[in-house]
Amino acid sequence: MGEMLYQRDVYGKTLVELGRENKDVVVMDADLSSSTRTNIFAREFPGRFFNCGVAEQNLMATAAGMASCSKIVFASTFAMFATGRAWDQVRNSICYNHLNVKIVATHAGLSVGPDGATHQALEDIALMRAIPNMNIIVPCDGPQTREAIIAASRIPGPFYIRLGRPKFPTLENKGEFVFGKAQVLMQGGDVAIIACGTMVNEAVSAAGSLLKKGVRARVINMHTIRPLDAGVIRLAAEETKGIVVCEEHSTVGGLSSAVGEVAAETRPVRVKRLCVRERFGQSGESSELLKEYNLTSGDIEKAAAGIVTGNDT
Amino acid sequence: MMKYSESHIKELRERAKQIRRLIVQMLCKACSGHPGGSLSSTDLVTVLYFAVLRHRPQEPLWPDRDRFHMSKGHCCPLWYAVLAESGYFPKEKLWTLRQLGSMLQGHPDRRTPGVEVGSGSLGQGLSVACGMCLAGKMDKKEFRVYCLIGDGEMQEGNIWEAAMSAAHYKLDNLCVMLDFNGFQIDGKVADVMNVEPVKDKWKAFGWNTIEIDGHNIKEILSAYDKAAEAKGKPSIIIAHTVKGKGVSFMENMVDFHGRAPTKEETETALRELQ
């Protein structure tokens, strides 16, 4: 297993890198800079860092105003508040005006852990995916976080980048990150596993176990959720017996919905979804929660094997 | 007071009348829209564009331009009329308001030359203006930012988040104009959700407050000057206005917050605005 890294640490350091390169890079936060790690940038460039206090609506609309004056604005807070509290501002001030604001939200999904349900965003991808003009990236580990942040900084327009709270293992040999193009991490023609964020590592583990049992699973890291790499989904649908999608998100509107939509519209195929179904999160350690909500490599393995054998009730 | 010559004031008053005529005609043609607040803010915005704002209508993206943002986006007929009168686009375009494919959308949209940022969902515009001010200060630019808000809009929580932020960041390049006409869709602001004491609230949030008659050209000119002189804090011009100002049967009539005049009403209105 690769190095364990906090995506948010990588985010903070990457901001400094970008800040040195370009004086128009500005960073904003809403009283969570020590958690989102935008404080790393704030220490280096205090004149280009703006704390809005606990006021997410103001955070997003102010970011829009700054972007209208040619700034590249990174706006950060927890995923729950970035997307839920300030959705109207994100839609009407940022996306409708197609402004250059990069919302980098941390503490997404169940793996937030002990803070519990109010802090575990399970609907954020759905909320952002519903807005025209919004680009969405869910990096799978530390190094990919850096690549995603740099890519977003160079492409004009709004972005939502979703990061987790705990340390993630670094996945080796992923190849180059290309915005909008999924990474096939393991080849296989029996079943396809599509994942994003934390779940990519679980998917790779599951595929490893399956391989020992003679099942060849294709593992796809769908780091870009908007625009979605529909080609890789169509190929998976054509060349395998079915698709397993897993993510730390609700079954409604996230990656699994997006994959299902492409499959239903172009290549109908069995899509089994490992997501959170009609439930809120709760307190617990990350690993306990992923187990409780059936989001482990074991669950993925079972779902994939079910598709291959046809015993997938 | 010498700096505001009587002829200049008279010219601005005539200009405002012309803007009001355009607003009424546009809304009649569009068959929908918001006359009440457009007419109550007309003098504020006309004076701003024709006597205060440093801008180049032929070069809308001139980097050093002063910015205007209409947070109460539903009053865009006023903005469009002022932009057309200033020369941002041909006046004929005004008759396409709210039509399919028109650059003059029902609420402000960036496709209109002169519109910096679209608006429509109340409360956000003050934050947007703060963002422009912060960017200006960061770049050591001299431009000022003007933002029009409504009294009903003051009920939005986002307004107070922005009010706190503007004072915290000492945004003395920000001038807010409050169109205090006392009415909102459901009735009198005082009955729907009282916003008073308005001046005390803004003062308590750390703002420089200037209270005026929002239809007195001389007072408006002087208020913009006072706002520009204030250092270390943002300014708000609390402009007491009359909803539907200039058209007798629209004045203080809630009905005309969001209803366009009929052809007959338009004719009467235009006669009054001669």
Residue A285 confidence (pLDDT) above 70: yes
CB contact under 8 A, B117 and A99: yes
Distance of CA B212 to the CA centre of its chain: 15
Same domain, A144 and A43: yes
pLDDT tens-digit readout, B154-203: 999 999 999 999 999 999 999 999 999 999 999 999 999 999 999 999 99
Question: Which ipTM score applies to this complex?
Answer: 0.97
C-beta separation of B214 from B182 below 8 A: no
C-beta separation of A89 from A60 below 8 A: yes
Residues of B in contact with A49 (CB under 8 A): none
- Whether A177 maps to a domain, the answer reads no
> Please, which pLDDT band fits residue B249 given cuts at 50, 70 and 90?
very high
Neighbour tally for A113: CB within 10 Å: 21
Residues of A in contact with B161 (CB under 8 A): 52-53, 55, 57-58
Same domain, A204 and A262: yes
Same domain, A153 and A207: no
Active site residue A56: yes
The per-residue pLDDT for A121 is 98
pTM above 0.90, yes or no: yes
Same domain, A164 and A187: no
**Domain-ending residue, one of A146, A169, A192:** A169
The per-residue pLDDT for A311 is 81
The per-residue pLDDT for A247 is 98
Same domain, A235 and A92: no
To 10 degrees, the CA torsion angle through B43, B49, B53, B56?
A: 180
The per-residue pLDDT for B3 is 74
Which residue range is the domain that position A125 belongs to? 4-169
Amino acid at B94: L
Q: Which residues of A121-157 are buried (b: 16+ CB within 10 A; e: fewer)?
A: bbbbbbbbbebeebbbbbbbbbbbbbbbbebbbeeeb
Alpha-carbon distance B64 to nearest alpha carbon in chain A (angstroms): 10
Question: A118: Cβ–Cβ under 8 A, 6 or more apart, which residues?
Answer: A80
Q: How many domains does chain A have?
A: 2
Same domain, A119 and A200: no
SS3 B194: coil
SS3 content of chain A, % helix, strand, coil (to 5): 45, 20, 35
- Whether A256 maps to a domain, the answer reads yes
CA distance B126 to B123: 7
Give the Å distances, CA to CA, from B272 to B17, B150, B256.
10, 25, 17
- Whether A17 maps to a domain, the answer reads yes
What is the tally of helices (H) and strands (E) in chain A?
Answer: 13, 14
What residue ranges do the domains of chain B occupy? 6-272
pLDDT tens-digit readout, A157-198: 999 999 999 999 999 989 999 999 999 999 999 999 999 999
Residue A313 confidence (pLDDT) above 80: no
| Residue in A with minimal Cα distance to B128 | A65
What CATH number has the domain bearing residue A298?
3.40.50.920
- The candidate with the shortest Cα–Cα distance to B246, out of B8, B9, B57, B14, is B14
Residue B2 confidence (pLDDT) above 90: no
Alpha-carbon distance A207 to nearest alpha carbon in chain B (angstroms): 47
- Across the range A268-290, mean pLDDT stands at 96
- Whether A139 maps to a domain, the answer reads yes
Residues of B in contact with A91 (CB under 8 A): 121
Among candidate residues A3, A17, A44, A56, the one labeled active-site is A56
Q: What rounded mean pLDDT belongs to chain B?
A: 97
CA distance A279 to A94: 30
Amino acid at A68: S
Q: Is A88 in CB contact (< 8 Å) with chain B?
A: yes
Neighbour tally for B266: CB within 10 Å: 18
CA distance A120 to A281: 6
pLDDT tens-digit readout, A104-156: 999 999 999 999 999 999 999 999 999 999 999 999 999 999 999 999 999 99
Residue A38 confidence (pLDDT) above 80: yes
DSSP secondary structure letter of residue A92: I
- Whether A175 maps to a domain, the answer reads no
pLDDT tens-digit readout, B62-108: 999 999 999 999 999 999 999 999 999 999 999 999 999 999 999 99
DSSP secondary structure letter of residue B184: E
Same domain, A152 and A101: yes
Question: Smallest Cβ distance to A61: which of B124, B138, B139?
Answer: B124
The per-residue pLDDT for B4 is 85
What CATH number has the domain bearing residue A116?
3.40.50.970
The per-residue pLDDT for B1 is 47
CA distance A238 to A220: 15
Question: B2: Cβ–Cβ under 8 A, 6 or more apart, which residues?
Answer: none
Same domain, A134 and A192: no
**Domain-ending residue, one of A145, A169, A193:** A169
CA atoms within 13 A on the CB side of A291: 5
- Whether A174 maps to a domain, the answer reads no
Q: Under CATH, what is the fold of the domain B6-272?
A: Rossmann fold (3.40.50)
- Whether A273 maps to a domain, the answer reads yes
Alpha-carbon distance A93 to nearest alpha carbon in chain B (angstroms): 7
Same domain, A203 and A240: yes
- Residue identified by tokens 């020590």 is A34
| Residue in A with minimal Cα distance to B169 | A50
- Whether A77 maps to a domain, the answer reads yes
CB contact under 8 A, A61 and B134: no
**Domain-ending residue, one of A138, A169, A200:** A169
CB contact under 8 A, A55 and B161: yes
Same domain, A150 and A197: no
Same domain, A199 and A158: no
Same domain, A13 and A132: yes
- Across the range A2-14, mean pLDDT stands at 97
